[in-house]
Structure formats: structure tokens, C-alpha cells
Amino acid sequence: MSKKALLEVNNLKQYFPIKGGLFGGTVNHVKAVDDISFVVYEGETVSVVGESGCGKSTTGRAILRLDDPTSGDILFDGENLLGLNKAKMRKKRKDLQIIFQDPYASLNPRQTVRQILEEALEIQNVVSRKERRQKVEDLLQTVGIGAHQMDRYPHEFSGGQRQRIGIARALSVDPKLVICDEAVSALDVSIQAQVLNLLKELQQKFQLTYLFISHDLGVVRHISDRIIVMYLGKIVEIGDKDSLFENPQHPYTRALLSAIPSINVGEKKKERIILKGDVPSPIDPPAGCRFHTRCPYAMDRCAVEEPKLHSLSEVEHKAACHLLEDGPYDYS
């Protein structure tokens, strides 16, 4: 199977100005996303993980052009989204949808489920007026909500059901790429499992491509084909799911994975790597390797020289660390 790139992000930077000073000018920048590049192939799920504030949501928002990126290219189906004018971008949104963490905040409380979905269909002009009702019924059935519930308001549904409505709305316009930003994070474990299964089922049925943003590495391992690990606005490791989980190479990824509490009682626990201190501010991120202030392996050069992404294997596993210059590092 030859892989076709659906989304290509090249050297994306998103700096947010900080206003201040005597004249209210820009005194500094939050370097939320700082020169990242990656590809998402058609039909796959790529997850973005990392700690709060590392730039996951900003990346998703930049792709949808909800913010205007500082620099870089975002190629979607070969077309540079950053070159489109507002009207063209609005049309393009039909192909790129987003599902948020809090379904409640993203659904209009004054509209019934039917109105919410009909409005989405109308804006993108997907089907004729006559067909709309049927399409709404079909959509709700796809996500497991009965047609008899279609005239209810969002508050009359449970959290998991509301997330299903959010999914139905995203799917209503037949998108190609769906960005899921913490889409299951607010749900109870038992409901989360239902929604994850639904997302997988819909992916197969409609050949969807997912960019899945999450801080839950269990969820990520379940849903992804490939994984991007970010730290302070940079990609530190990227690879297919199995090599990343079974053979993490960046010291940060290793610490992150070892920090997750496991439900394996009794079995011998893997050594936990406890990191010192907090994540530094993205306003003045550390020079050199951004992780050097917390890295147990930091060397002198790490404070001055930024590491490149080094290729580690044939399966596109890469990590940005000086230890990996000559290939995988022996951590044992």
C-alpha cells in the first residue's frame, strides 16, 4: 500500500505576542509552537502527546487556521492552507473538522440536536434542504443516538452522549481530517471506551484521518498508528506506536512513560524516572535542548546546542537528542 500524505506541516511556528511596557507594545513572545514539521498520511491516526502547555492544541488550531501561524507551511491535499483567503478557507473547513474536550461548551444550548446538525449541513451546503432531515437521522444513528431524541437540547444528554453529538456534527460535512482535541478526556472510563470504539469504527467506515491530541497515553496507545511527543513547543520524538512505546529513545519520552501509574499490581514495576522541577516557561525557553533543565542525561553541550531529530530505524522513528547522534542509545 502506498501512503498518500494528506497533511504536511513544515517548519510551523506559532508565537503569541505579549503586550506590556509603557506603550503597550509587544514586549516578548510565547513560543507556543516553535518550528515543527510532520506528515499525516491518509487514513491513519497520528497522536500528539505531551504535558500541559507544550503546544498540542496550538498545533491543531494552526492547522485549522483558528489562529494565524507566525510562519511555516501547512499543505492539505497538496494545497497550502496558509495561502488561502478567508472565504476559501471557510470552504476548506468542510474537509477539516475538530472535536473538543468539552462537548457542552461547543454545542449551542438553545438549539436542539436536530437544529445543531441541520445548521452544520446548511453552512457547508452538503445536501439539499429536503434530504437534510434524513441525513440528520442517519448521522445520529451512526453515533448511536436514537432519532426519537433528536428534538432534545444538549443539557438533556449525558456527557458521553453529548460527545457523540459533537462527533455527529463534525462528521455531518463528510470531512477528510478530524482533529480530536482531548475529545475523550472528560468522560468516565466506561464511556470513554464506548466513544473510542465509535471513533475507530467511523474511521474505517468513512476513511477518516485523525489528528488525535491527548495527554492520556493509554488512550493514545489504543487509538494511534503513529505518535508525536512534544515538549515546550518542539517535537522531541516521533514514531510508530509500537516502537515508541516499546523502545522510547528520548529521555523525556522515557520519563513520561515511566511516570504513568499502571494497574498492574503484583508484577514487578519498572524503575520510575522522577523528573526534577517544573516545565520551564515558553516565553524564555531554555537555550540548546529545551529539556536540559530537567534531563537526567544532560551534558554541557545540551545547554548551548539544539539537538536535531535523528533517525533511529527504518520505521520512521526519530528523536531529538544529542545522545542519539549515532543511532539508538543503550539505556540499560
Site track 271-310 with ligand ATP (rule: CB under 6 A), x = hit = -----------x----------------------------
Closest distance of CB 228 from ligand ATP, Å:
11
Closest distance of CB 11 from ligand ATP, Å:
17
* Residues in region 182-201 near other proteins by CB under 8 A: 188-194, 196-197, 200
Q: Which of 2, 85, 266, 271 binds other proteins (CB under 8 A)?
A: 266
| Cβ contact 307:295 at 8 Å | no
Nearer to Mg ion, 57 or 70 (CB): 57
256 SS3 class: helix
Residue 323 binds ligand SF4 (CB under 6 A): yes
| Cβ contact 167:117 at 8 Å | no
Closest distance of CB 185 from Mg ion, Å:
9
CA pair distance 134, 147, nearest whole angstrom: 10
Site track 51-70 with Mg ion (rule: CB under 5 A), x = hit = ------x-------------
| Cβ contact 135:125 at 8 Å | no
Those residues with Cβ within 8 angstroms of residue 158's Cβ, 6 or more apart along the chain or in another chain: 191
Binding segment for ligand ATP (CB under 6 A), chosen from 5-13, 49-57, 152-160, 322-330, is 49-57
Nearer to ligand SF4, 49 or 120 (CB): 49
DSSP element (H, E) containing 282: none
Binding segment for ligand SF4 (CB under 6 A), chosen from 159-167, 168-176, 212-220, 321-329, is 321-329
Nearer to ligand ATP, 31 or 310 (CB): 31
CA pair distance 65, 122, nearest whole angstrom: 21
Site track 113-152 with ligand SF4 (rule: CB under 6 A), x = hit = ----------------------------------------
Residue 322 binds ligand SF4 (CB under 6 A): yes
Tell which residue, 4, 7, 78, 3, has the closest CA to residue 40.
7
Nearer to ligand ATP, 14 or 172 (CB): 14
Closest distance of CB 219 from other proteins, Å:
5
C-alpha cell at 313: 530505524
Side-by-side strand order, sheet with 226-231: 96-99, 177-181, 209-213, 45-49, 226-231, 234-240, 318-320, 309-311
State the burial class of residue 29 (Cβ atoms within 10 Å of its Cβ: 0-12, 13-18, 19+): middle
Residue 32 binds ligand ATP (CB under 6 A): yes
